[in-house]
Amino acid sequence: MRVLPISPRGYCHGVVSAMSTVNRCLEDPTVPRPIHILGMIVHNRFVVERFAAQGVVVLESAGASRLELLDRVDSGTVVVTAHGAGDDVYRKIAAKGLHLVDATCRDVRRTHDEVKARVASGAAVLFVGKAGHPETEGILAIPGVILVENLAQAQTLPLPAVPLFIANQTTFSIKDIVPIVAAIQARRPDAEVGAEVCDATRMRQEAVVRDAKEADLLLVVGDPHSNNTNNLVRIGREVARVPTERIETYADIDPAWLSGVATVAVTAGASTPTDVTAAVISYLRRYDECGIPDAGKNCGSR
């Protein structure tokens, strides 16, 4: 069985920067304690667990907004995650006298700046994104932004009679953005488009389309909360048209998936730790070498 690691995969610059920011806080005794992260610093439980083990307080609760999570913090430091936050969150952090550390991804920050500028110019902004995602939550805090989640909404949503600007969540699927934007422009040809998936997300999606077609099976390593991971799964299935499974670790691999597989491709979401993906690749190579579904065994002991 051939193992095909797809490149690029795994950590993007925004994730590396966010993690480095938290590590610097931990190393700096002058940073007020306790250190809180406003949500998952990146959408991967292994990253979150590693920081929690070092005493970082991760504030995360299903359905709770960033503003609501701040109600749990009375002192210390608040780290804004790579996904960014709305101005209302920053105002509340300042009002509570908390120390702010901002780990917002530069691509997300660029989107915020562009959307604010367009709204200030009198335009309405249509934001293509996923409801409930922290990046979307931050953008929707800007007055004048309308969320568009899917093609059906793009075709039927009432459009304001003012200039329109289209932006999008940086981790959204290229496959989904193109028809959504086309549907809006079919109704409003004058709508300006700034919609752009961040380079890291785009390159990982394009690599799956390009390389996974060679495989009989694609494994996407990542957290179920990771939007870019889930989009890689969809692209593998719907664009590359190869059987695709999402896993968190090699322990999630069902040996039945590998039956009759000549080539298995492996990629990973932009927030997946490198060592976790490396363990998956190592397992698959040992599986092939030893013919046994147990990465803990070695061939020489049989």
pLDDT digits (tens, 9 = 90+) for 83-109: 999 999 999 999 999 999 999 999 999
Q: Are 224 and 230 in contact (CB under 8 A)?
A: yes
Q: Mean per-residue pLDDT for 101-119? A: 95
Q: How far apart are CA 71 and CA 280, in angstroms?
A: 39
For residue 85, count other CB atoms closer than 10 A to its CB.
Answer: 28
Q: Mean per-residue pLDDT for 202-230? A: 95
Q: In the predicted model, is pLDDT for residue 14 greater than 60?
A: yes
Q: How far apart are CA 43 and CA 231, in angstroms?
A: 13
The phi and psi torsions of 165 (rounded to 5 degrees) equal -130, 135
- Label residue 173 by pLDDT band (50, 70, 90): confident
Three-class HEC string of the chain: CEEEECCCCCCCHHHHHHHHHHHHHHHCCCCCCCEEEECCCCCCHHHHHHHHCCCCEEECCCCCCHHHHHHHCCCCEEEECCCCCCHHHHHHHHHCCCEEEECCCHHHHHHHHHHHHHHHCCCEEEEECCCCCHHHHHHHCCCCEEEECCHHHHHHCCCCCCCEEEEECCCCCHHHHHHHHHHHHHHCCCCEECCCCCHHHHHHHHHHHHHHHHCCEEEEECCCCCHHHHHHHHHHHHCCCCCEEEECCHHHCCHHHHCCCCEEEEEECCCCCHHHHHHHHHHHHHHHHHCCCCCCCCHHHC
Q: Are 170 and 197 in contact (CB under 8 A)?
A: yes
- Label residue 295 by pLDDT band (50, 70, 90): very low
Is 135 assigned a catalytic role?
yes
Q: Mean per-residue pLDDT for 268-279? A: 96
135, two tokens: 């990046």
Q: In the predicted model, is pLDDT for residue 51 greater than 90?
A: yes
Q: In the predicted model, is pLDDT for residue 298 greater than 60?
A: no
Identify the active-site residue in 135, 137, 149, 196. Answer: 135
Could you tell me the pTM of the whole model?
A: 0.87
41, two tokens: 């610093």
Cα 43 to Cα 19, 108, 227, 270, 286, distances in angstroms:
12, 15, 8, 9, 29
- Label residue 288 by pLDDT band (50, 70, 90): low
231, two tokens: 């989009």
Q: How far apart are the first and last CA of the chain?
A: 20
Q: How far apart are CA 25 and CA 41, in angstroms?
A: 13
pLDDT value at residue 302: 35
